[in-house]
Structure 1
Amino acid sequence: MPPHPDWERLETLMPAVREFQALAVEHGIDDIFQDNGGKILQMLLALNLQGIPGREGNDAVDAEGFEYELKSVNIWLTDSFSTNHHVNIPIIKKYREVKWIFAIYEGIEMRRAYSLEPAKLETYFSAWEEKWLRSEKDINNPKIPRSFVMQEGTLLYTDQRELDLTTAAAIRRAKTKASADRRAAKKKAQADLIALQKEP
């Protein structure tokens, strides 16, 4: 099948994308398109950290040897930071031993970054630990609210532009409505097809 008309535009951009990827590899990131690789590279360079290769363990280290857990959120999509899809006792133990950095994005633009010591997050760790001990099942991606991070964290980076949380909330509401409308349209389409199949 023939390529899309925009294929040539993409091919024109690829040399810069390959250069972006080459820079990422120097900082321990194998694929800028996987696991927020591109955003992690932005965080590493803005905060003068070095990535730690591999999927296990922590995300970054500084010149003094302190390790960090890095999290990012696109506030046009959600207002809380994701953690891990399999939070359990060993992961909570790891979380308690490292510093945390949370970056706030609008789309692909990093707007703010905050640091939190693990002691500031102990309320969350304790709640997750208690939940796991009750069920003995991994917890699927518990969240840390953006508002908590901004209130309790230390600001490390700002792009000096106003962070428009009201507009971000409106964008999230519109996306949620569009998603609900799509689900409703799909359900109606399926019902219409079933009705047509039942016609003599």
Structure 2
Amino acid sequence: MLKPHKDKARLDRLFPALREYQALASAHGISDIFQDNGGKLLQLLIELDLTIVAGRAGSDAIDRSGREFEIKTMNLSLTRSFSTHHHLNDAILRHFRSVDWLFAFYRGIELSAVYRMSPPQLEGLFAKWEATWLERGKRDLNNPKIPARFVCENGQLIYGFPPQQGLTHTA
């Protein structure tokens, strides 16, 4: 028979706070803080006064002025680039070209910076992905990346401090 780990009492003590965090997330339209960066998304929504887009089929969030945003998060402790979409195609590229982007830099669970970029600032990447998509016979691209360094060099810092440490290479 399996026995609990020695840290079970500590987990039991901490779990009510996680339930409270999930209740806050649920009030903001996030059904699971442990899925799809739910906990990080909640923090961004609150820090930047955004509202989640219901269903998240398309844009991720909207501001009080009605502007929609694509949101990408990255943990600097794990990677140096932002993931985009697992099935990037013409329809997704059209959407990407229609909204502003927010790039959130984390170190572990700590939010350190958020950059904003407009579609024209990202167009060079979009055009490259579109060309590759066409060269591949219009087969979906699997998750092209946006380098963190590119975001820092071309985006507008709207929260926190530039995450220069650790950006000596791109993934």
TM over 0.5: yes
Structure number, greater radius of gyration: 1
Residue matched to 1:5? 6
Q: 1:151 to 1:164 in 2, by over 3 A?
A: closer
1:28-60 residue CA offsets vs partner (Å, 9 max, x unmatched): 111110011111111111111111132411110
Asked if the contact 1:47–1:156 (Cα under 8 Å) also holds between the matched residues in 2, the reply is no
Total equivalences in the alignment = 166
Q: 1:125 to 1:163 in 2, by over 3 A?
A: closer
Which residue of the other structure, out of 142, 155, 158, is the alignment partner of 2:157? Answer: 155
Residue matched to 1:54? 55
Distance 1:133 1:76 in 2: 34
Residue matched to 1:25? 26
Q: CA deviation at 1:151?
A: 1.0
Asked if the contact 2:105–2:163 (Cα under 8 Å) also holds between the matched residues in 1, the reply is no
Residue matched to 1:174? none
Please show how residues 120-159 of structure 1 align to structure 2 within 5 Å: 120-135=121-136, 136-158=138-160
SS of aligned partner of 2:106: strand
Residue matched to 1:106? 107
Distance 2:82 2:142 in 1: 13
What is the identity percentage for the equivalent residue pairs of Structure 1 and Structure 2?
Answer: 49
Q: CA deviation at 1:164?
A: 5.7
Asked if the contact 1:29–1:53 (Cα under 8 Å) also holds between the matched residues in 2, the reply is no
Distance 2:41 2:5 in 1: 30
Asked if the contact 1:44–1:51 (Cα under 8 Å) also holds between the matched residues in 2, the reply is yes
Distance 1:106 1:164 in 2: 12
SS of aligned partner of 2:46: helix
Q: Which runs of 5+ in 1 are unaligned?
A: 170-200
Distance 2:10 2:164 in 1: 32
Higher helix share: 1
Q: CA deviation at 1:3?
A: 1.3
Asked if the contact 1:84–1:141 (Cα under 8 Å) also holds between the matched residues in 2, the reply is yes
Q: Which runs of 5+ in 2 are unaligned?
A: none
The runs of at least 4 consecutive aligned structure 1 residues that moved more than 2 Å come to: none
Q: TM-score of the superposition, structure 2-length normalised?
A: 0.92
> RMSD of the TM alignment (CA)?
1.5
